[in-house]
Amino acid sequence: MTELQPRIINVLLVEDDPGDVLMTREAFDEYLHNRLDVVTDGAAALSYLRREEPYPDAPRPDLILLDLNLPRRDGREVLEEVKADPDLRHIPVIVLTTSQAEEDVLRSYQLHANAYVTKPVDFEGFIEAIKQIDHFFVSVVKLPSGG
């Protein structure tokens, strides 16, 4: 009897905090088998998703982890543009942020975020949150095929 290989998905992390990027990369390197690409501001995220320079060969992500507070274009703007674009709106967007403000939670869901996760402040909690997001979106739900 052979064990099923986990499905590999492409994840785009949109995060400007170097420490959070490092922790997320560690979680992916140590515990997860998915591909992780990182952009550090909202304008770069939209260029990546639209495959504009300097990302003409960017893979279409199966999942986006999006911080709200970003330089150039904030996460709310990115979320709004992704969900308004017929070519991108099918991609699940998980808002992953430090904000616990009720207005941020409400606004994110109004903009059609698929989930809102407040980043745990400790390393172990952060890693566990990333692992749970990965488990849910890789093992539990069926994602549409990328384009």
* Tens of pLDDT, residues 63-79: 999 999 999 999 999 99
CATH class label, 10-137 = alpha beta
User: Is the pLDDT assigned to residue 3 strictly greater than 50?
Assistant: no
CB 93 within 8 A of CB 64: yes
| Mean per-residue pLDDT over the chain, rounded | 89
CA separation for the pair 121, 109 (Å, rounded): 23
CA separation for the pair 69, 86 (Å, rounded): 25
CA separation for the pair 140, 147 (Å, rounded): 21
Would you kindly state where each structural domain of the chain is located, as residue ranges? 10-137
CB 55 within 8 A of CB 25: no
CA separation for the pair 146, 3 (Å, rounded): 25
* Tens of pLDDT, residues 76-96: 999 999 999 999 999 999 999
